[in-house]
Amino acid sequence: MREIKLPIDDETIRSLHAGDAVLLSGVMMTGRDAVHKWMIDTFIRKTREPQGDDLEVYEAIKKVLDHSVLYHCGPVVAGLDTGDYKFVAAGPTTSIREEPYEAEVIHHFHLRGVMGKGGMGPKTLKACQEEPAVYFHAVGGAATLIAQSVQRVLAVYKLEFGVPEAMWVIEVKDFPAIVTMDSHGKSLHEKVLEASEEKLKAILGV
């Protein structure tokens, strides 16, 4: 199991291959549906004007995400009343919902990793080859255990989106994950889909 420090340099990303188990340590950020739509509409496709603290938040997260990881996660967080935040659960959410946006987000913020569960599609895989970046698969059903890897919350942005949808900047140590889409065009999810389709055809006699 390889220990990977965040931010991640290009050489390290290119040395990772689908199937590699890793332990991530450093600073990353969470972001789900609301975050992706906000990023795309306001700063990438620019179909809406920045409002409120949008520009300030954008400048802050650009520094966090550069050569780092965006984690598809809707955490359960304690300490909301006091601001002494602590992750209680930090399991991954399904990544494919972000497929319409992720390639653009990877390029715009120079991400080196996207993390969640279930994998992503061809547009994201192509962006991983071009940037370069990888997809890290986090273990589903182990939200409480994964939360133990979160050492502290460094910042939170857009809390008005709701706790699960906000951008949580977190410092992690030995966060376990598996590379399932690499920068060389390999996707374990694609292989599983192909195998499943072949089995289905055999069952149906097609």
CA–centroid distance for 115 within its chain: 3
What pTM was estimated for this model as a whole? 0.92
Q: What is the pLDDT of residue 161?
A: 98
Domains and CATH numbers, the chain: 2-204 (3.20.130.10)
CA distance 14 to 21: 15
More confident site: 91 or 203 = 91
Q: Which residues of 114-140 are buried (b: 16+ CB within 10 A; e: fewer)?
A: bbbbbbbbeebbebbeebbbbbbbbee
Q: From residue 64, give the alpha-carbon distance in Å to each of 58, 144, 156, 192.
A: 10, 24, 12, 33
Given a cut of 70, whether residue 200 has pLDDT beyond it is: no
Q: What is the pLDDT of residue 206?
A: 52
Q: What is the pLDDT of residue 189?
A: 81
Contact by Cβ (8 Å): 23, 176: yes
Q: Which residues of 46-58 are buried (b: 16+ CB within 10 A; e: fewer)?
A: eeeeeeeebeebb
Q: What is the pLDDT of residue 23?
A: 95
Strand partners, 168: 156
pLDDT by residue (tens digit) across 125-181? 999 999 999 999 998 767 788 889 999 999 999 999 999 999 999 999 999 999 999
**Torsion of the alpha carbons at 140, 142, 143 and 144, rounded to the nearest 10:** 180
pLDDT by residue (tens digit) across 33-92? 999 999 999 999 999 999 999 999 999 999 999 999 999 999 999 999 999 999 999 999
Token pair for 84: 């002494």
Given a cut of 90, whether residue 202 has pLDDT beyond it is: no
